[in-house]
Amino acid sequence: MSTSTVHVSTPSRSYDVLIGQGVIDETGTLTRQACGGSAACVIADDNVAPLYANAVAESLADAGYRTTLQVFPAGEKHKRLLTLSDLLEGLAAAELTRDDVVVAVGGGVTGDMGGLAAALYLRGCKVVQVPTSLLAMVDSSVGGKTAVDLEAGKNLAGAFFQPSLVIADVDCLDTLTPELFTDSCGEVIKHGVIRDEALFRRLAARPINAEGFDPQELQDVICRNVEIKRDVVDADERERGLRQILNFGHTIGHAIEAASDFSLGHGSSVAAGMCCIARASARMGWCAQDVADDIVRAVAAYGLPTDTAVDHDTLFSFATHDKKRHGSTVNVVVPTRIGEVEVKTVSLPEFRHLVDLGCGTDAA
């Protein structure tokens, strides 16, 4: 398969997203071309590091970089300020300068941690994202959102900081467990719901987590997802308007994820959140019932959760600490039809009503 290139052009930085087989082996050469500099620090968690970190570090060294490696404990529970502090101290100890580069190798947590460390260190050095999970490839590695979690909720301390390059090697997906690959599919389905009905129908008819799914078609799906994300981010880098549509399923989804103490994956939580807000939207008359039904059926076809048993008080509490809250209102993304959504600003009581309508087996 040939390598696909999606060019991202935001007001703050333009860069390429490279999607193909074996491209991780070219990290050093590609980083040299995109970033320059003399030193590179590879950041990975302790799940991914044994698989890819040393090979990436060697590739960078071969390209002339003085290379160091930092490994942190895997998991959302470690996406915290304490871990970030350790990473920043490591960058300082390695004597990186503003001309140098952080290379984040891993899933969404690593991309967030590496990206935010690069944004803060010396008020900004370059970062290359090397996503190794499907979720990171189609979503979190593109667009420049970086953050850590606080006790009050997910992604509450962060920055918009675009990478200088994204290297997405589809061969890395072979090392994912079926459960982790399936979890990532929640974000893939989301992109179809918000911007591309044809993609949604394709995903619903031929689930990409089915055994023996064609690798070329998978690369095409990843590329289309990145294009959708690119188009939105290019138009609204800092989430003042259009970019909010990417939060479809996330207001309730983040609450579900936090209520599980992050034992439920992000993609699975978003999938459940999409179904909950779709059911509520249909009951409010904001979309036809068959729109909600199509979303629920597609999510179910992947074996992802379509609802939550978390009590509504807990969901409301977590959701109203989310960054999508604005004073006494919350912005929620609701489907109008497949391929189109809109952002509605609702009061906190109105949002609680949506939770009651869409979530749980006893939802009215």
Is residue 51 annotated as involved in ligand binding? no
Residue 22 counted as an annotated binding residue:
no
Name the packing angle between helices 348-358 and 250-259 (round to 10°). Answer: 70
**Residue 123 annotated as catalytic:** yes
Report whether 29 belongs to an annotated binding site. Answer: no
Active-site choice (224, 230, 254, 279): 254
Q: Which residues contact 82 (CB under 8 A, 6 or more apart)?
A: none
Q: Tell me if residue 247 is catalytic.
A: yes
* Candidates 145, 230, 324, 352; catalytic one: 145
* Rounded alpha-carbon distances, angstroms, from residue 344 to 129, 263, 274, 276, 348: 32, 30, 15, 15, 12
Is residue 126 a known part of a binding site? Answer: no
Q: Is 145 a catalytic residue?
A: yes
The tokens 């087996």 sit on which residue? 361
266 is catalytic: yes
- Asked if residue 251 belongs to a known ligand binding site, the reply is no
Q: How many residues does the chain have?
A: 364
- Indicate if 187 belongs to the active site: yes
* Active-site choice (250, 279, 323, 352): 250
Is 297 among the residues known to form the active site? no
| Whether residue 254 lies in the annotated active site | yes
108 is in an annotated binding site: yes
Rg (CA), the chain: 20
- For tokens 């379509």, the residue is 306
Residue 47 is among the residues annotated as catalytic for this protein: no
Is position 109 annotated in a ligand binding site?
yes
- Among 84, 220, 236, which residue's Cα sits nearest to residue 160? 236
Whether residue 229 lies in the annotated active site: yes
Query: Exactly one of 247, 257, 324, 352 is catalytic; which is it?
Result: 247
Distance CA 114, CA 132 (A): 14
Catalytic one among 76, 237, 239, 257?
239
344 carries an active-site annotation: no
Is 173 assigned to a binding site? yes
d(CA 268, CA 228): 20
Q: How far from chain centre, in Å, is Cα 163?
A: 14
Which residues are part of a known binding site for Zn(2+)? 187, 250, 266
* Annotated binding-site members: 108-112, 132-133, 145, 154, 172-175, 187, 250, 266
Binding-site sequence positions for NAD(+): 108-112, 132-133, 145, 154, 172-175
Give catalytic residue positions: 123, 145, 187, 229, 239, 243, 247, 250, 254, 266
